């Protein structure tokens, strides 16, 4: 018959007499330690839907799906897959779109769908070729970052004109149906199509 060693016996007695290291959650509220990395929390007002966080998320907990017809981008965040690495927060282009909470840690749910969050953003789609440009909020954010330099881009200028309502009352919202024309410079078209207009029509006028 084998007898327990003295060291093991002593460890068992000490363990029996010492209080538990773990908290009594959920019977008692748990207070996480300082700098605890909990569930990411999105600030929709400061999230521009740029897609950067989805591109850096290691377990693909953040996914993007674009609907050209409805011109909407849906951002899906599945916190059941999140590993709390903090890369989404670190790489967020606005610096305020998403941040890991230091309090939200309880992700136990009966239905995994309850750990999924959705955001919807308006998408800019090229009126000529249908290419997805980006979200309207993303482009507006770029205006703010670029300041007066934003005026050097016609695409930026077109969005800005609409936001400032300078385009109102002018027949700029035309359908691009029979190929690109000079007037399409004032339409929302992708940089490629815009380049075609510039090369084709502006080069003729110099």
Task: Considering the complex, state which of residue 44 and residue 196 has its C-beta at the smaller distance from ligand SF4.
Answer: 44
For ligand SF4, the closer of residues 61 and 139 by Cβ is 61
- The vertex-91 CA angle with 89 and 97, nearest 5°, equals 50
Closer residue to ligand SF4 (CB): 57 or 150: 57
For ligand SF4, give the closer residue by CB, 58 or 130: 58
Instruction: Out of 73, 82, 159, 187, point to the residue binding ligand SF4 (CB under 6 A).
Output: 82
Label the pairing between strands 40-42 and 62-67.
unpaired
124: contact with ligand SF4 by CB under 6 A: no
Pick between residue 82 and residue 189 the one whose CB is nearest to ligand SF4. 82
x/- track of binding to ligand SF4 for residues 23-62 (CB under 6 A): -----------------x------xxxxxxx---xxx-xx
Q: What is the 3-state secondary structure (H, E, C) of 118-183?
A: EEEEEEEECCCCCCEEEEHHHHHHHHHHHHHHHHHCHHHHHHHHHHCCCCCCCCCCCCCCCCCCHH
Straight-line distance from the first to the last Cα atom of the chain, in angstroms, rounded to the nearest whole number: 102
- Of 4-12, 22-30, 91-99, 192-200, which segment contacts ligand SF4 by CB under 6 A? 91-99
In order of 20, 21, 107, 138, 152, the CA distances from 38 in angstroms are 23, 20, 10, 27, 42
Residues forming contacts to ligand SF4 in the complex (CB under 6 A) are 40, 47-53, 57-59, 61-62, 82-88, 92-94, 97-98
């Amino acid at each position: 018959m084998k007898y327990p060693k003295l060291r093991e016996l002593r460890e068992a007695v000490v363990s029996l007499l010492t209080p538990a290291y773990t908290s009594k959650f959920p019977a008692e509220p748990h207070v996480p330690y300082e700098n605890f990395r909990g569930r990411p929390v999105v600030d929709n007002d400061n999230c521009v839907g740029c897609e950067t966080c989805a591109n850096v998320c290691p377990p693909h907990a953040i996914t993007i799906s674009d609907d050209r017809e409805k011109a909407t981008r849906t951002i899906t965040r599945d916190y059941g897959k999140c590993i709390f690495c903090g890369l989404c927060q670190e790489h967020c282009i606005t610096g305020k779109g998403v941040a890991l909470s230091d309090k939200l840690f309880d992700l136990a749910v009966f239905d995994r769908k309850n750990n999924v969050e959705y955001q919807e953003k308006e998408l800019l789609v090229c009126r000529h070729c249908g290419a997805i440009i980006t979200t309207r909020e993303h482009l507006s954010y770029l205006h703010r970052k670029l300041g007066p330099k934003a005026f050097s881009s016609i695409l930026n200028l077109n969005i800005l004109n609409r936001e400032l309502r300078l385009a109102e009352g002018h027949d700029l919202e035309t359908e691009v149906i029979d190929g690109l024309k000079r007037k399409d410079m004032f339409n929302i078209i992708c940089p490629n199509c815009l380049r075609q207009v510039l090369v084709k029509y502006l080069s003729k006028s110099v």
